Amino acid sequence: MKIAFFSDIHANLHAFKAMLEDLDSQKPDTAYCLGDLVGYNIYPNEVIGEICKRGIATLKGNHDEKVDSIDSTPESLNEKGENYAYHLISEDNRGYLKKTSSPHKYRVYIRGSDFQDCFGSWKHKTYR
């Protein structure tokens, strides 16, 4: 069985498309995203849309989690600074991010094997 893992897309649509093209050429049986679909770049809705379209199981990264702590209004798009990219995320996609697996890990059972995938470090207090 061929399994693909990826993470840290950070709404970089151009890099994401290139990665997906390579992923498709490898023909994995399944794929998992280990977090951080959003942050930094201006294409969060397109990235989340493709993740949903493909049904890729996704962990919640710290940037995905940050969305919950940022209030967005139409006026927010006029703000400059590090939170601009978070204000671009649609309400539907904010809802999707709230539903992603948390607290930053999930278990996968494949042919009798047990995997634990995580975002960040196994040394983090979340995994103890």
Q: Which residues pair with 5 in a beta bridge?
A: 32
Number of folded domains that form the chain: 1
Q: Give the domain extent around 109.
A: 3-127
Confidence label for 7 from pLDDT (cuts 50, 70 and 90):
very high
pLDDT at 81: 84
Residues 11-60: pLDDT tens digits? 999 999 999 999 999 999 999 898 899 999 999 999 999 999 999 989 88
Tracing tokens 């890729």 back to the chain, one arrives at: 56
In single-letter form, the type of residue at position 34 comes to: L
Q: List, in order, residues 6 or more apart from 111 with CB less than 8 Å away.
A: 1
Q: What is the CATH number of the domain that holds 61?
A: 3.60.21.10
Q: pTM for the complete prediction? A: 0.84
